[in-house]
Amino acid sequence: MARRDVEFDAEGVTLRGWFYGAEGASGAAPTVVMAHGFSAVKEMYLDRYAETFAAAGLNALVFDNRNFGASDGEPRQEIDPWAQVRDYRHAITHALTLPEVDGDRIGVWGSSYSGGHVLVVAAIDRRVKAVVAQVPLVSGHDNFRALVRADFIDGFRALFDADRLARHGGAEPGMVPVVDKDPLAPSALPTPDSYTWFTDTHELRAPSWRNEVTLRSVEMFTEYEPISYVPYISPTPLLLMPAQNDVLTPTDLAIAAYERAREPKRLQILPGGHFDAYVDGFDASGPAARDWFVQHLAP
């Protein structure tokens, strides 16, 4: 399978990733643009999805989010969801310059945090002709309150405010672990399955992943509401795939967002929890996404 390294400009920041050529293509082919979720890097199983797409005759452009992995950007380990949305659009623009890419057949795929991003991108960028959102974050406000006890929220707000004041005075950004073995300890993703998946995947496949993000990344997460864009995705075909027992981006929130989408759309419930889609449940998540893109992007 042909894979090459790529890099492209995103308003002065160089983003880097992989381009997978569509197998069997004799000319310009449909292309899926992909990036990972909250703090994750492309080596954390995105290759499995891209290989599945390429084997079905779809190109795949996979990139690391700015400030993470192989991509440039400062401050390192800071996640601005709106910058990441814009970078999806920069990646689409770059794809359109490649001779292997049919610019009229672009799809976007995202998972977890980027599952929210692709909902926004599909609603505002009509170059997108099909979208797959896997275990998506749909409401930062509601998701934060599902993860953080009500009596802890004021403490978080105090940390956000202190960090804002410190940064104003020239201090380095405050940092917080992405995951912690103790789900009651301060971390961005305080669920046991988050700790297990990130630490195991870091050791197995992704040495560049770092267990920290800026504190402001968590604050921006609480402000981000992809659900408000969901009604505007139509008439772009939407496949939304929540996990049956997702305790990180809760299943009921994703299904409620799906109810706000208009046709054409499809809901597919994946087995297990949030992270099962990448490993044990890949046989459900990967082929379903592949088939959706083939159906709606292939001639």
Report how far residue 62's alpha carbon sits from residue 197's, in angstroms, rounded to the nearest whole number. 21
pLDDT of residue 8: 98
- Region 53-79: mean pLDDT is 98
Q: Which tens digits make up the pLDDT trace of 81-137? A: 999 999 999 999 999 999 999 999 999 999 999 999 999 999 999 999 999 999 999
pLDDT of residue 1: 65
Q: Which tens digits make up the pLDDT trace of 143-176? A: 999 998 899 899 889 999 999 999 999 999 999 9
Q: Cβ distance 147 to 191 under 8 Å?
A: yes
Q: Which two tokens stand for residue 47?
A: 């290759």
Q: How does strand 29-34 pair with strand 59-63?
A: parallel
Residues in CB range of 68: below 8 A, 6 or more apart: 39, 40, 41, 76, 77, 79
Q: Which tens digits make up the pLDDT trace of 27-43? A: 999 999 999 999 999 99
225 pLDDT above the threshold of 70: yes
pTM above 0.95, yes or no: yes
54 pLDDT above the threshold of 70: yes
Q: Cβ distance 256 to 247 under 8 Å?
A: no
pLDDT of residue 125: 98
Q: Cβ distance 287 to 52 under 8 Å?
A: yes
Q: Cβ distance 248 to 191 under 8 Å?
A: yes
pLDDT of residue 112: 98
pLDDT of residue 256: 98
Q: How many CB atoms lie within 10 A of CB 71?
A: 22
Q: For the chain, give the percent of residues with pLDDT over 90.
A: 95
pLDDT of residue 185: 87
Instruction: Identify the structural domains of the chain with CATH numbers, from first to last.
Output: 3-143+225-297 (3.40.50.1820)
Average per-residue pLDDT for the chain: 97
pLDDT of residue 222: 96
Report how far residue 220's alpha carbon sits from residue 3's, in angstroms, rounded to the nearest whole number. 34
| Nearest by Cα to 12 from 80, 69, 71 | 71
pLDDT confidence bin for 183, thresholds 50/70/90: confident
